[in-house]
Amino acid sequence: MDGGERGRRGGGRHGPTLPCRGALCQGGPVALSQRDLAVLALERRTFRRRGEKEQAVRDELDMSATRYYQRLNALLDDPEALAADPVLVGRLRRLREERTAGRDLDVGPAPGS
């Protein structure tokens, strides 16, 4: 294994292949569209360079980064997405909750105080 392959677990031009989880891999029924499954798959990947993820969103999903994050945020509230990839969706939900909790703490003094 040369230096460029270190730490990879398979994969191809789209980066390392990660283990499959959830109902999707167990053959269970998943009502998500192919595009929604592709959004989850892209989010599961690791990107090393600045702008690499946004470029992948444009090239592979043919959507803007803004639309991608809107769709991803909606998927976090979708029980089908949770069934398809419980580890990823659970982790992203926790991160979202931490961010929103942090924003609530940053609230300044009430108007008129």
The predicted-structure confidence for 16-50, as pLDDT tens digits, reads as follows 434 455 544 555 555 899 999 999 999 999 999 99
d(CA 30, CA 52): 29
pLDDT tens digits along 86-109: 999 999 999 999 998 877 766 566
The answer to whether the beta carbons of residues 74 and 66 sit under 8 Å apart is no
Tell me the C-alpha to C-alpha distance, in Å, between residue 71 and each of 2, 4, 17, 113. 37, 33, 23, 39
Beta strands in the chain (DSSP E): none
d(CA 15, CA 50): 15
99 Cβ neighbours under 8 A, 6+ residues apart: none
